[in-house]
A and B are shown apart, each in its own frame.
Chain A
Amino acid sequence: MNVLHGKIKQIQTVNELSKIIIDLNGHTFTSLIIDIETFGDIAIGKEIKLLFKEAEVMIGTKESIVSASNAFVSTVKKINQGEILSEVVFDFEGNDIISLITTSSLQRLQIEVDKEFLWFVKANEVTLQKEIK
């Protein structure tokens, strides 16, 4: 699981659906959640954890334009190549972001350590977790 820590910057709610904008060292993340009320006390300025599975992180070339709200260019730090699946580890502001893609895609995109790629995750795949004090 990829874990990042940020601060809530903006909350937009339409009926049961909410879009939460989170600031992470100047980068903006978006998470979609439903039924914000039962999630409880979340407010602008509060610290929050963002969680998303490795398999939900997609990779594109640096110039790609994608619909995913959360798209960032980072350097590949490490690759763990398997027969069917491969893990690509990005260095994002000192945090490891892992993307789990097929080995055939790894080869097709010619992903290599030290090269820059776009990694992205859709807002509906980002789970929020309240910081436990």
Chain B
Amino acid sequence: MNELILSKDLRGANGVIPLEINTTFKRGELTVLFGKSGAGKSTILRMIAGLLEPTGGKIVIEDEIWYDSSKKINLPPQKRKVGFVFQEYALFPNMTVRQNLLYALDDKKKTFKVDEILKITELTKLENEKPDALSGGQKQRVALARALVREPKILLLDEPLSALDFAMRAKLQDELLKIQRHFNLTTILVSHDIGEVYKLAQFVLELADGKILRQGTPSEIFGGSKISGKFKFSGEIVDIAQSDIVFIVSILVGQDVVKVVSTKEEIRDLKIGQKVTLSSKAFNPIITPI
């Protein structure tokens, strides 16, 4: 079990906001910190990594105490097994992909670890390239691979995909999920993209002004389960197109694309790539024998 009890004064645009967090999250689970900017999401990651000291509290990761103000325990960042990936890739430009990964390796003899991670992240073919020769998506994959090389107890992802275009983001989300499950790695992801949260999160902590507003599974938080409709599916919007004064929203449900008529007002809150719940009353569907 992992435990976070944190207090810290956040200095935001509207003055000082006290951050007060008290939560636990499961080992091997992907937890998303969701909320507006300034809610304290990145601050929490930085405190877990040891880059910022809380005013008080406790940080326990995989039953190891990293910080406990009452016992005066505060492990330095290098003693905390953390993999940290930011929106900026922060790769060494003068080093190849492989050298970037080797640099992060704690035990330099374990180069097989680098080979293994290059393979899992599908970077083996690019191992001798320098970052400048890579696309944004590839660079972010290298940043993730480098974080994994350290064999972290916790992976901290601070909006790592927000600079990428939709197609690349969707692809990297799939890869991230695959890698996270492969290593059964406790992960905290900061995101403000509901579609991304639906796709990746096993647990969501919604933050506002330094406090936990709500916590639960994505559907508990975002309301899909609070609808009475009996004909209910989750899907992803793949297209929105206008016909006359209405809009036809195409939604990928499983392997099928279904089309739903929506109005201008409705589509204002919808965008391509977004995860949605599709529901209809049990009275509407027509059954015909085949």
> B281–A124 contact, CB under 8 A?
yes
Whether the Cβ atoms of A132 and B226 lie closer than 8 Å is yes
Interface of B is mostly: loop
Given contacts A1-B266, A98-B265, contact A130 B226 (CB under 8 A): yes
A129 and B246 form a contact (CB under 8 A): no
Chain B residues within 8 Å of A51, by CB: 227
Complex partner residue of A85 from B223, B244, B265, CB under 8 angstroms: B244
Q: Is the CB–CB distance between B281 and A54 below 8 Å?
A: no
Given A55-B261, A128-B228, A129-B227, verify A82-B244 contact (CB < 8 Å): yes
Which DSSP category, helix, strand, loop or mixed, fits chain A's interface?
strand
Residue total for A at the interface (Cβ-Cβ under 8 A)? 27
Q: Which residues of A contact B279 (CB under 8 A)?
A: 127
Is residue B183 contacting chain A, with contact meaning CB distance below 8 A?
no
Inter-chain CA distance A47–B265, complex, in Å, is 24
User: CB-CB contacts of A45-56 with B at 8 A, as 1s and 0s?
Assistant: 000000100110
Closest B residue by C-beta to A130: B226
A86 at the interface (CB under 8 A from B): yes
The interface on chain B, measured as residues whose beta carbon lies within 8 A of the other chain's beta carbons, has a size of: 18
Min Cβ gap A42→B in Å is 9
Tell me, yes or no, whether B283 is within 8 Å of chain A by CB. yes
Q: Say if the beta carbon of B178 comes within 8 Å of chain A.
A: no
A81 contacts across to B, CB distance below 8 A: 245
Complex Cα spacing A62 to B281, Å:
28
Q: How far is the CA of A5 from the CA of B227 in the complex (A)?
A: 14
CA distance A33 to B283 in the complex (A): 9
Asked if A76 lies at the interface with its beta carbon under 8 angstroms from chain B, I say no
Q: Which residues from chain B contact A132 at a C-beta distance below 8 Å?
A: 223, 226
Rank and list the top 10 A-B pairs by shortest CB-CB distance, nearest first: A82-B245, A124-B283, A130-B226, A128-B228, A82-B244, A33-B228, A39-B228, A84-B244, A34-B282, A129-B227
